A and B are shown apart, each in its own frame.
Chain A
């Protein structure tokens, strides 16, 4: 581990102070991508010309002090988030040549804040996966150990931040797809409250669960990106009308009196020893700052994985019905009729994991099985949400590992979908409950793999999450370490 990370906040300050230009900052990011990406596989597209044009426009501002809160900050965007004029594949052959006619609201807001989108990041196809191996364009490799996955599905965004290609990136989190790769790559990842960030322009996987969230080197950077993209949006009826606080100014390091609940009953088995030890050590650090650690119970949490996969696949089977090879996307010509064209286009356009989930989701919605699976899962989901809200009356936050294991070897779980699904055991609960959560680096294994601490908060109380995570980060500074492996040689 060597080399200090450059933060978004520092890059913006250097631009505003005149210490550097947006063009120089952007060129440095593009150079890092050119040096690292071939082996890392984190980026699917790089839009150098547009990025440098935007940087030049920022450099031409007559008064940089009026520049936006992310001015001159190079960012990357997960490839299931639409970018006008820039290919957006969602990691799928079905959308290999899809060029969106509009940008997602989150992307528009990032750019209005002055950020420079340099490219799109690799991901599991349609965000379905926990390892970023289910991409039609090849896997992403973990910058800390290239023989291992970066987690998923936002593995490209996490790897890009961890390797220092960009200080911040957007991901999407349906069942943990921001938090788990953040943990496995040693960066910060935030899943906002459902409704905090508009989903307009996010390619739908499971609409009652999908949320866009930031990945960044530090909590402060993540807060800055979240503030830029959050807020109501006329293009998304589920984007809440809640006010967007100034989260950055509330990062004061004070956690005195904060009650952090730990559901030890969920940690009794199935958690890697080094992960458990690092999480317990993190709680001791927070206790030493004045937080109160207490035991809690999360009712029905043991059902979270099956409930999540029953609901998410059902919603996916409906959302992905639109890929019929007619209006956009991959198409196989068929002389024997429309239905044959649908079936062949979808069979060839989708990868194995997407097909597996579409069949499962179609099954649980089908006559004779709907009540036993989908309806039951919806009922259980309401109980899981109630369990979280109840736990969060006696505690301000819930603490869990983000992932039960550190980064696992490429190929280890790809042929065993059940093992892959269980990677999400600690993240799907907050997704089902619609509550916000953050993963923050809390140490390394003896083999040098990052470990993440997950904190889960009350609906729309991202402020407490960010404040406590930032306080922890101040005392530990794991974020400062960057991977120094051969995959990042040549990086600045």
Chain B
């Protein structure tokens, strides 16, 4: 069912998107996204019928390459942009995941 402006579940959806919003942001997005969805609801309401037969939506078919071992990035290069990997060969540091 299309969501209405006043009941857009912004806090729940932001949590699903792993975004921590301020109260001001939540209020702003609640209003804006409710309005946007009211407009986009025309898609939900229209009966377009089954998609027509034909090629894939993008019109492109995937091309394949040989399943062979190829040169790739070194671990050092791949992790060179990691925010917290200093002194950790082939590892990154993250906050503790499991409890005490």
Q: Enumerate chain A interface residues (CB-CB to B < 8 A).
A: 97-99, 101-102, 193-195, 208, 232, 234, 237-241, 300, 303, 306-307, 309-310, 317, 321, 324-331, 333-344, 346-347, 350, 352, 355-356, 358-363, 366, 368-369, 372-373, 376-383, 385-386, 389, 417-418, 421, 433-435, 459
Contact = CB atoms under 8 A, between A and B. Distances in A.
15 contacts: A194-B59, A234-B65, A238-B58, A327-B78, A327-B81, A333-B95, A334-B95, A338-B95, A362-B16, A373-B2, A379-B51, A380-B48, A383-B48, A417-B32, A435-B59
A474 B98 CA distance: 68
B64 interface: yes
A356 B33 contact: yes
B43 A343 contact: no
A85 B80 CA distance: 11
Contact of B46 (A331, A350, A369, A380): A380
A382 B33 contact: no
Given A101-B73, A325-B83, A372 B63 contact: no
Interface of B: 1-3, 8-10, 13-21, 25, 29, 32-33, 35-37, 39-40, 42-44, 46, 48-52, 54, 57-65, 73, 77-84, 92, 94-97
Nearest to A350: B19
A102 B18 contact: no
A239 B48 contact: no
B60 A195 contact: yes
A382 B52 contact: yes
Contacts of A342: 18
Contacts of B65: 234, 237
B49 to A, nearest CB: 8
A208 B96 contact: no
B48 A237 contact: no
B52 A101 contact: no
Given A303-B48, A347-B19, A366-B13, 13 more contacts: A101-B80, A307-B43, A309-B36, A309-B40, A325-B83, A326-B83, A329-B83, A333-B95, A343-B20, A346-B18, A347-B21, A382-B57, A418-B39
A418 B40 CA distance: 10
Contacts of A303: 42-43, 46, 48
Contacts of A333: 95
Contact of B17 (A335, A358, A378): A358
B77 A101 contact: yes
A99 B81 contact: yes
B61 to A, nearest CB: 8
Given A237-B63, A417-B32, A418-B39, A379 B94 contact: no
A337 B84 CA distance: 15
A300 B48 contact: yes
Contacts of B64: 237
B48 A417 contact: no
Contacts of A346: 17-20
Contacts of A377: 43
Nearest to B38: A418
Contacts of B42: 303, 306
